[in-house]
Amino acid sequence: RAAAIAEVVARFVDACTRNDAAALLRAVDDARHAMHALGVAANKDVVTGEHEAIATITQTFGGAAKPSGAGGGDVAVCFVPSERRAHVERALVEAGFPVVGLQIGAPGVRIDA
């Protein structure tokens, strides 16, 4: 199972390097399926019903989603075409899923002394 996840990660990185959005979305979706298989093998709920619902909503708008987090999916990370982002966010909120705004390069946690 870990080998399947490693292979998907390699495809994700390759898709990012080549700027291939379609391959990236396939890799994200395949990662969700690999994580589900790992959870089944470990008898753990890694890809929860909520994660599946989020993935379904995201796919409706041409994207893909997967759990992300150290504890088996603290959050779902959604990848969608930028022109559909607002539609996905609205659909997620309407379905009861809070949307957290993230950005690459955002400042991390810091302690002011």
CA distances from 100 to 29, 55, 109 (A): 20, 16, 16
Residue pLDDT tens, the chain, 113 long: 778 888 999 999 999 999 999 999 999 999 999 999 988 998 988 899 999 999 999 999 999 999 987 655 578 999 999 999 999 999 999 999 999 877 777 777 778 76
Q: What 3-state class would DSSP assign to 16?
A: helix
**pTM of the complete model:** 0.83
- What would the two tokens of residue 26 be? 């396939």
